[in-house]
Amino acid sequence: MWTKTFLLPYQFKRVGWALLIPSLALGLAYLIWEPTPAFLDWTVFSLASEDGIFEGRKFFTWVENNVYDELVSLLLIISAGMVAFSVARQEDEFVQRIRLESLVWATYVNYGILLLAIVLVYGFPFFWVIVVNMFTLLLFFVVRFHWIMHRAQKQMAHEE
């Protein structure tokens, strides 16, 4: 059941972590080696595609494509979203404040890095910056939120 803050139930967090770790490994594998397993060569519907930069533009058609990167991208976004937007075990005002501050912080960092990349990275490498940037907002949020929560729990344990 959705809470009034539109967060997912806590159970989604566990599933999200179970999917996020392998999807990060698969994503890194794609960035490093660009694997294209033959069993993922599928015929897929495409709104727009092209054979080259200026040739073979196609709209609303079926194309042959290795869907490794699409599947990993979907898995990364869905799993990181489940981890990021599931309620904490004890969701209260403190946790909501940390959640909001972490989201704002992640947005600043994500777009700060993007601004630097716009000024300092050119050509095809900039394409890879944009691709990675699709995922970093959620990942920055997840890392910061859980780091701050961990520190807060540690501090509360010291006070007891």
User: Could you tell me if residue 80 is inside a domain?
Assistant: no
Mean pLDDT of the chain: 92
User: Could you tell me if residue 15 is inside a domain?
Assistant: no
User: Could you tell me if residue 138 is inside a domain?
Assistant: yes
Number of folded domains that form the chain: 1
pTM comes to 0.86
User: Could you tell me if residue 156 is inside a domain?
Assistant: yes
Residue 102 lies in domain = 89-160
Quick check: 54 pLDDT over 80?
no
Residues 6+ apart with CB under 8 A from 18: 79
pLDDT in tens, 91-148: 889 999 999 999 999 999 999 999 999 999 999 999 999 999 999 999 999 999 999 9
pLDDT band at 2 (very low <50, low <70, confident <90, very high): very low
pLDDT in tens, 21-34: 999 999 999 999 99
Count CB neighbours of 129 within 10 A.
16
Q: Are 27 and 72 in contact (CB under 8 A)?
A: yes
